[in-house]
Amino acid sequence: MSALSAFGLFAVTAMLVSYAFEARSAWWVLAFAGSCWLGSAYGFLQGAWPFGLVEAIWGGVALRRWFRLGIETEIAQ
């Protein structure tokens, strides 16, 4: 297995785990955003730029969701 393939496996596994735990804490949503950006980097490095682009967008969506969860939590307190 090449280093690039190992990086991609790590990125996708991190996405799966953080997505599975998102309901437990807003920090998992942030972890999902970060792992999406790792997946995006993998896609661009591999030469699959459509995958890289979509993962970058998903990372932005997750980051926005994390900010909204933080604001909702702050208002609820």
pTM of the model: 0.88
Helix, strand, coil in percent for the chain, rounding step 5? 90, 0, 10
Does 18 reside within a domain? no
Q: Number of structural domains, the chain?
A: 1
Residue 59 lies in a domain: yes
Instruction: Answer yes or no: is 6 within a domain.
Output: no
In this structure, is residue 4 part of a structural domain?
no
Q: What angle do CA 37, 66, 18 make, to 5 degrees?
A: 55
In a domain, 35, yes or no: yes
**Angle at 38 (CA atoms; ends 52, 48), nearest 5 degrees:** 25
Asked, for residue 71, whether it belongs to a domain, the answer is yes
Tell me how many degrees the CA angle 38-5-9 measures, rounded to the nearest 5.
55
pLDDT at 70: 81
Residue 32 has a CB neighbour count (10 Å cut-off) of 26
55 within domain boundaries: yes
The parent domain of residue 41 ranges over 25-77
The predicted-structure confidence for 4-59, as pLDDT tens digits, reads as follows 999 999 999 999 999 999 999 899 999 999 999 999 999 999 999 999 999 999 99
